[in-house]
Amino acid sequence: MAEAPVSFSGLLRRLRTQEQLTQEELASAASLSRRAVSDLERGVATTPQRETVRLLADALRLIGPARAEFEATARGRPPIRRPDAAAALHSLPRDVATFTGRQRELQQLAEAAAGACRVVAVHAIGGMAGVGKTAFAIHASHRLAGKFPDGQIFLLLHGHTPGRPPVDPADALAGLLLTIGVPAAQIPPGLDPRIALWRDRVSARRLLLVLDDAASSDQVKPLLPSTAGSLVLITSRRHLSALDDATTISLDTLPPTEAAILLVRLAGRARLSPADPSVADIVKLCGYLPLALGMVARQLHHHPAWTAAGRAAELAAARDRLGLLVTESLSVAAAFDLSYADLNQDQQRLFRRLGLHPGADIDAYGAAALDGADLEVARRGLEALYDQYLLTEPAQGRFGLHDLIRAHARALADRLDAPSDRQAATTRLLDYYQHTAARANALIMRQARPVPTVRPGGMPAAAPAFADLEEALAWARGERTSLLACLDYAVRTGQHAQVMTLTASIAGLLRRDGPWAEAIGRHASAVEAARRLGDRLGLANALNDMGDLWRMTGGWAAAGKALEQALAVYRELGDQLGQANALHDLGTGHRLTGDYRAAGKALEQALSIYRELGDRRGQANALSELGAARPGYLAAAEALEQALSIYRELGDRRGQASTLNFLGTVWCQADDYPAAAAAQEQALGICRELGDRLGQAHTMRGLATVWRLTGDYESAEQALEQALGIYRDLGARNGEAHALHDQGIVWRLTGDYEAAEQALEQALGLFVSLGARSGEAGALHDLGIVRRRMGDYPAAVQALERSLGVYREVGLRDAEARTLNERGTLHRLMGELAQAEESHRRALELARAVGTSRNEAAALAGLARCALAVGDAAQAGPLLGEAFEIFQRIGAAEALGVQAELDALTRPRSA
């Protein structure tokens, strides 16, 4: 017997009583007058306004079916109660002409239909609310109907229909049996007899059965035919993982292009194009969700005065975007509410709190912190939400929310949870990320740091453990987006302690992966936060981190200022480790700008403090930089070998790679190319294993230098192109300048002088802007060579003189010898033989003093050519012979040219 319709007055009174509210309390919560509530409950007011109903529903905390029933009853249309037999249709619902996309999935079903003669083909079509599961199933069914001559049946199972429970399987079977012609009197009572009768009656038929909006696998299992020949399409908002042999088709949101086409089709505006920028904005703001797209499209269709650009702007500016995605009695929020209502209380709370997460995705550890729950409880909760298509799983163990579902979860949290509960949840999450990131950072950073100030009560209940650098780095990279989103949230909400500590905790990740320009801004925010807190140690750490990154981007002046300030604070606090770290970074900056004296002084001080502290890694770091800064090859190699030994003792692979790179450079400058190549190859292998992109760029540059000096220009050019790409990705301007410089040298050697000049001018501009004096001198030297080859002798002289001046200023004697040789060549070509000979003799003295064989051989060859220019072959021959022997011994490409000159000298006499 049908139930008597429920009046709105009676329903309102019952719900208020259940919430234990007086009329006055309900009126206050809903921002209504007590008289208005009283009139509604007494039936005096029988047609409440829509806004009044919404306010009352919010105040009564109604969601899902309960809210839908409340709203329907207010409109005088109480929900229909479930009959004893489900109403199955012997025909398919109407297909829509505007159906868009899903071609891959449609093809999958077409192939399944072709094979349905062998088995019962069951396809579970899943997806989040509003993704278009039913529309897809109906569209596919119309396309496939001809392959199933015995009929098509559509049965709505009401898994998520407001105001009614899911269809009972026995009732569903009764509806199916009636649809295929079984008289009602012949339908037996009970589930099992109905299953048997249904399967018997359809055993010889080829049917297309659409089961729409299934609540669970248990609901649909009894409805499946048992013999081959039929195709069953099941739509559900749940993963029906318990259905044996069912093929899952999980529908995602539409691709942007297809979403734009759907919006335009539904809007029905002749002048609206999928290529319109406002269309792209709308579909993005709708999360590419068909339900949301349809609502905005219908709004545009029924409001000719509205523009797509205007609606896009309104959606973008709305604090409650879901509130705009409404048409008549339909809304995106209501569709989401139906899925939310299926959850138990703990799952609902977890869902709401996930909406508070500033990041894009989360794992079980983060969810446990956010929800204040046990790790296993959080893991099960995430799985339950994923099962309901409320979460996606972009990677194993990581779960995300669609943008609109996130907005809905946040709106529910704002409405149902106290502000203190929401604040506590986000605080637990930030504490978890800060604590775990700090532990990862200790492994990622190549140097111990002064212990930062840690807020009390910030220890998470559960956090992942890291066995080594690789695990720590994998975690940090996997959580990078969430870490930065939480940091942005802390900045936005003025949580200075979290800004300072969380930034310090990801310093190693930012330093390693960049982009450094963005990272500098984050450290600047940490500096400001530390100053506001009056945390002197936190301030020094933040300044040191910021200065280190300024150095890595080539901002030497800013780097020096920040590092000097950090050093001063560390000295004020008496923090020796901080002082050593700041001195190390200052020394590195001085080395990179060519101030080797200042570099040596700072690094020696750092080394002394590290030794006093017993800090082995600090000692290795300082020795490695000292090796790179010392001008003599023997002294440099000695320091680097010491550093390498300590790194190997510590198992520090990244330190080994960096030191091997420096050693490769030293051996290259000492003309030991096999040793240089071996060191760089080892360094590159380690960097690739570690995923250290900056290290890879440095070592590829080092290898390119070896290949260039031994005549393999093609390999050198390829390596430099790769290195240049990495430097530009990371924003490493100093590395970019060096790679451009090296490219210019390679192109000059291959005869492409215009490209060489362009690359060298770019490099020179970068070096000058960075204040990198040695780099500036090197670029000028090679510009002089290129311009000499292009015949522009005055410009070549000017470049070489400027280069010599800088080299003498910074004390690079081997580089000075190289430039003197080039100046000697230029003077000889200009006919100024006395000046040429003087330059080569000075270069020879410097080369022998420093011990650079290549420069020595070049000076000898230059002197020989000066002798040949005045016809003194007797003097030239021995000089060329000596030069050839040196070039050949070190494996230099120049040996071939000198050999040709020697052959030319001896040919006339043999003739």
Provide, for the chain, the percentages of residues in helix, strand and coil under a 3-state DSSP scheme, each rounded to the nearest 5: 70, 5, 25
182 SS3 class = coil
Backbone angles phi, psi at 630, to 5 degrees: -75, 135
155 SS3 class = strand
Q: How far is CA 624 from the centre of its chain?
A: 32
- Which uninterrupted H or E stretch holds 686? helix 673-690
Which candidate, 490, 385, 384, places its Cα nearest to that of 437?
A: 490
Helices (H), 19-102: 23-29, 34-42, 50-59, 64-74
Give the whole-angstrom CA distance, residue 433 versus residue 430: 5
Which candidate, 532, 555, 559, places its Cα nearest to that of 543?
A: 559
User: Mapped to the 3 state alphabet, what secondary structure does 715-778 carry?
Assistant: HHHHHHHHHHHHHHHHCCHHHHHHHHHHHHHHHHHCCCHHHHHHHHHHHHHHHHHHCCHHHHHH
User: Mapped to the 3 state alphabet, what secondary structure does 492-526 carry?
Assistant: HCCCHHHHHHHHHHCHHHHHHHCCHHHHHHHHHHH
Which candidate, 348, 321, 366, 372, places its Cα nearest to that of 485?
A: 366
Q: For the chain, how big is the Rg over CA atoms in Å?
A: 38
Question: Helix 853-869 crosses helix 894-910 at what angle (to 10 degrees)?
Answer: 40
Give the whole-angstrom CA distance, residue 291 versus residue 303: 18
Rounded to two decimals, the pTM is 0.72
Half-sphere exposure of 5 (CA within 13 A, CB side): 12
The Cβ of residue 907 has, within 10 Å, a number of other Cβ atoms equal to 9
Give the whole-angstrom CA distance, residue 718 versus residue 722: 6
123 SS3 class = strand
Q: Is 443 exposed, middle or buried (0-12, 13-18, 19+ CB in 10 A)?
A: middle
Across the beta sheet with 231-236, what order do the strands follow? Answer: 88-89, 152-156, 208-214, 231-236, 121-126, 247-250
Give the whole-angstrom CA distance, residue 61 versus residue 583: 61
Which candidate, 434, 416, 419, 446, places its Cα nearest to that of 508?
A: 446
**Residue 594 pLDDT:** 65
**Residue 3 pLDDT:** 42
CB 392 within 8 A of CB 399: yes
Distances in whole angstroms, Cα of residue 376 to Cα of each of 147, 421, 606: 48, 22, 47
**Residue 400 pLDDT:** 94
214 SS3 class = strand
The neighbouring-strand residues paired with 235 are 125
pLDDT block averages, 10 residues each, the chain of length 911: 60 79 84 86 80 86 71 72 62 87 91 72 92 93 90 90 85 90 88 94 91 94 89 93 89 94 92 92 95 93 92 92 82 89 93 95 95 95 95 92 94 93 95 94 84 62 87 92 95 94 93 83 96 95 93 78 96 95 91 78 94 94 87 80 93 90 87 91 92 91 93 94 92 88 95 96 89 84 94 94 87 84 92 93 89 88 93 91 89 85 73 37
Distances in whole angstroms, Cα of residue 521 to Cα of each of 478, 524, 528: 22, 5, 11
Residues 6+ apart with CB under 8 A from 884: 857, 895, 898, 899, 902
Cis previous bond, 515, omega within 30: yes
